[in-house]
Chains A and B, each alone.
Chain A
Amino acid sequence: DVKVTQSSRYLVKRTGEKVFLECVQDMDHENMFWYRQDPGLGLRLIYFSYDVKMKEKGDIPEGYSVSREKKERFSLILESASTNQTSMYLCASSLAEYEKLFFGSGTQLSVL
């Protein structure tokens, strides 16, 4: 089965730090996504990528950037972490359009 691996389950950072969240998928999927999940707000799309070096903004890209240098890896970058970025971050991948998303287990980020 497809495996989507997020590098950290829990992460604690200080305000102003640069934060990298890493995601790797092992099934040669074209599409990769970063969501954040907050209680009462559901999942909101931050960025997605349809190919290496391609990226598109989602619904809430402010304060974030992404990098996809290799097909299997999609990184989310918080240039200067702020307390309102404390959240659960979920990475996902899919083979093609309208195919199901495979999600990682998530990274709970706390910014103090």
Chain B
Amino acid sequence: AQSVTQLDSQVPVFEEAPVELRCNYSSSVSVYLFWYVQYPNQGLQLLLKYLSGSTLVKGINGFEAEFNKSQTSFHLRKPSVHISDTAEYFCAVTRTGTASKLTFGTGTRLQVTL
């Protein structure tokens, strides 16, 4: 079975600063990886996904993530955050061949302040 670890439960950052949200996964087989974001009082929405090809994946709202197979990581980055990026971010993984049965991490709360 696969699992996901999000190492930081909360990440405080000042506006316009860079941010990295960490995600590590565990699986004995090939995986697909996803980042979802949940804004306050809203449902989750997809930020980006890695299925194959380039290991650097660009998503919406200026976010990007890099798949690193040797380190089993899929860290999310943004070079300059905005107040509106305040939200909870979830990393998710699924084994190839298991359709959309995602396993989610415990989430990282990104708090952007002035």
Residues of A in contact with B (beta carbons under 8 Å apart): 4, 31, 33, 35, 40-45, 48, 50, 58-59, 90, 92, 94, 97-106
Contact = CB atoms under 8 A, between A and B. Distances in A.
Nearest to A95: B100
A43 B6 CA distance: 13
Given A42-B105, A43-B90, A99 B100 contact: yes
B44 A40 contact: no
Given A100-B46, A103-B45, A58 B101 contact: yes
Interface of B: 6, 9, 32, 34, 36, 41-46, 49, 51, 90, 92, 94, 99-107
Contact of B43 (A59, A90, A94): A90
A103 B32 CA distance: 19
A101 B43 CA distance: 10
Given A40-B106, A41-B106, A42-B106, A101 B101 contact: no
B102 A100 contact: no
B14 to A, nearest CB: 25
Contact of A101 (B41, B102, B103, B105): B102
Given A98-B51, A106-B43, A44 B104 contact: yes
Contacts of A33: 100
Contacts of A42: 6, 90, 104-107
A97 B99 contact: yes
Contact of A50 (B41, B45, B99): B99
What 4 A-B pairs have minimum CB-CB distances, sorted nearest first? A103-B43, A100-B46, A43-B104, A42-B106
Nearest to B1: A59
A58 B103 CA distance: 10
A57 B36 CA distance: 23
Nearest to B43: A103
Given A42-B105, A98-B32, 16 more contacts: A33-B100, A35-B104, A40-B106, A43-B44, A43-B104, A45-B101, A45-B103, A92-B43, A98-B94, A98-B99, A100-B46, A101-B36, A101-B100, A103-B44, A103-B45, A104-B43
